[in-house]
Amino acid sequence: MKSKMNIFCSKQKVIILFILSILPLLGFAQKVTFDNAKVKYTQLPLYPLPDEIKTYEARLVIELPDEMGKPDQLNNQYLKIQGYKKIKEGGDLIIDMVFGKFRLLGKELITDEVYNVNAGENMKGYFYKIHCEYPVTLTVITGNGKEMLKQEVKPDKDLLNFDFGKWEYSTGGLNNKFNEEKEKLLLEKQEKYMKSVLNQVKNTLNSNYGYPEKSKKIKIASGKGKKFNYQDLETAFGHTEKAFEGLTNQNNTDLIHQEFNAAIEIWKKAILESDGGKKSRISPEIKMMLIYNCAVANLWMNNFENAREDLAEATNLVTDKTRSGHQDLLKELKENIEDKEKRYFANLKD
């Protein structure tokens, strides 16, 4: 009996010693944290309109069931370009949006062996793949007839091609169910697809030609660990917040650059500490995200080449163990650099 007790106590001691050995690592491990800096700004158009264009009119052609409201309401809600005046007739720019007829193209019967819980056995199950059509064309022309844009609008295919009745256990039952619900179902699908298309068009018009007011929360990385002090990184975040406040309030460029560059100086000084590896205050993970911070600051100062260089350096530090959330931020930043650079140079005046 004593022998068994001694073995049990020995195992307990080993477990306790192991826990005590890793406690310092758990308590002092450095990790990346994030603060959110808020910014409000006016997004520049990808294709700025000529200076002589001041107004626009929008013409929506659509047949709507009574349950869906009136075309004029949809026109006013969705067909608009921020930064320009909308008038009923005689606009410098004309938006034409034409919806064709919403119709059912067909239904495809799908058959498979599925387990029926109620029957407690495998049975033949059936459902329909429904295929619909709803052609939509968007055209943007100037008042003197110059075509600027013409495209078919096709957002979400799942709204036009969808499953119905998964799973029914007789073809007759499936068909009866479809016939009973068909009218309501197709009406709902038409409305969802219509709203999806209109939203896409609103975004396209404002992304291409408008000056929409945007607001964002920008993630800025910092560090955390009981063993280390990260006050300098908090100070850098304070400079970043002031820079974004300047962008929001449209203050002078010198002030914005001064604050961003002060933050970059602090981050780059901290990055030099990373040579000590995992035991240093700036771990490889924190280093990667501080370089990401520098890329963000350069992006908002329109220093696109520097932003790309910083992003490339941060991306080169990604490993198999890098958190997916951090990789997502780097991917999003790459897309933002490309988009903002296009808009910036498209709007430069000669």
DSSP state of 79: S
Read off the pLDDT of residues 198-245 as tens digits, 9 standing for 90 and up: 999 999 999 999 999 999 999 999 999 888 999 999 999 999 999 999
What's the CA gap between 232 and 54, in Å, rounded? Answer: 49
E strand segments, the chain: 31-42, 55-61, 85-86, 93-99, 103-116, 121-133, 136-142, 147-152, 161-168, 213-224
Length of the chain measured in residues: 350
Burial bucket for residue 18 (CB in 10 Å: 0-12, 13-18, 19+): exposed
The residue among 349 and 276 whose pLDDT is bigger is 349
| Cβ within 8 Å of residue 78, ≥6 positions away | 198, 199, 201, 202
Residues 249-282 have pLDDT tens digits of: 876 899 999 999 999 999 999 999 987 666 789 9
Q: Is residue 155 scored above 90 in pLDDT?
A: no
According to the model, what pLDDT value does residue 10 have?
Answer: 56
Q: Tell me how far the alpha carbon of residue 303 is from its chain's centroid.
A: 23
Q: What angle do CA 131, 133, 136 make, to 5 degrees?
A: 150
Q: How far is CA 276 from CA 147, 222, 272, 273, 309, in A?
A: 61, 18, 9, 7, 24
DSSP string, 228-251: S--HHHHHHHHHHHHHHHHHHTT-
Q: What is the pLDDT of residues 96-145, one digit of tens each?
A: 999 999 999 999 999 999 888 888 889 999 999 999 999 999 999 998 88
- The residues, ordered by sequence, that sit 6+ positions from 275 with a Cβ below 8 Å of its Cβ are none
Please give the residue that has the higher pLDDT: either 5 or 58: 58
Asked if 148 and 94 touch (Cβ cutoff 8 Å), the reply is no
Q: Is 88 helix (H, G, I), strand (E, B) or coil?
A: coil
Q: How far apart are CA 312 and CA 286, in angstroms?
A: 16
Q: Please tell me the pTM assigned to this model.
A: 0.82
| 317 phi and psi angles, rounded to 5 deg | -90, -5
- State the pLDDT at residue 64: 87
- The tens digit of pLDDT for each residue in 168-205 reads 999 999 999 999 999 999 999 999 999 999 999 999 99
Share of the chain above pLDDT 70, in %: 91
Predicted local distance difference test score (pLDDT) of residue 11: 55
